[in-house]
Amino acid sequence: MFRALRPSASLYRSAVLAKNAAVAPRVSVAMNFARMYSAGTGLARSDVEKRVLDILAGFNKVDANKISLKANFNADLGLDSLDTVEVVMAIEEEFSIEIPDKDADEIKSAEQAVEYISKRDDAH
């Protein structure tokens, strides 16, 4: 009178697969993330030029009328070696970088400072 209920074969297979999946070791997936920037790194040259010229304008010994990118710190702006070191230190502070002494000795004009900073990816 009562019919025995028997699960279908596909239902049985599903149950077996589910049971085996629960016992099977789980595979973890390591995910590596990388930041991708659409804009180039570094600062715009025009911003670097303006900031370097502003640094020079902030020095009391420098005549504002003589400031230009081509102006040599010693010959054109009348800065001595100690003043030049102070300018380079002010540039380091402004752009949050450290300029090695060897490179700092080569910076004799605003244009050279702009070139150097433009090549640095870590300048802010």
Considering only residues 44 and 15, tell me which one the structure prediction assigns the higher pLDDT: 44
pLDDT at residue 53 tops 50: yes
Predicted pLDDT of residue 69: 94
pLDDT at residue 113 tops 90: yes
Reduced to 3 states (helix: H, G, I; strand: E, B; else coil), residue 14 is helix
CB atoms within 10 A of CB 74: 14
pLDDT at residue 104 tops 90: yes
Catalytic residue among 47, 54, 80, 103: 80
| Long-range contacts, 74-78 (Cβ 8 Å, 24+) | 74/108
Question: Active site includes 122?
Answer: no
| H-type alpha helices, the chain | 9-23, 45-57, 81-95, 101-104, 110-119
Convert 47-70 to b/e letters by CB count within 10 Å (16 or more is b).
ebbebbbebbeebeebeeeebeee
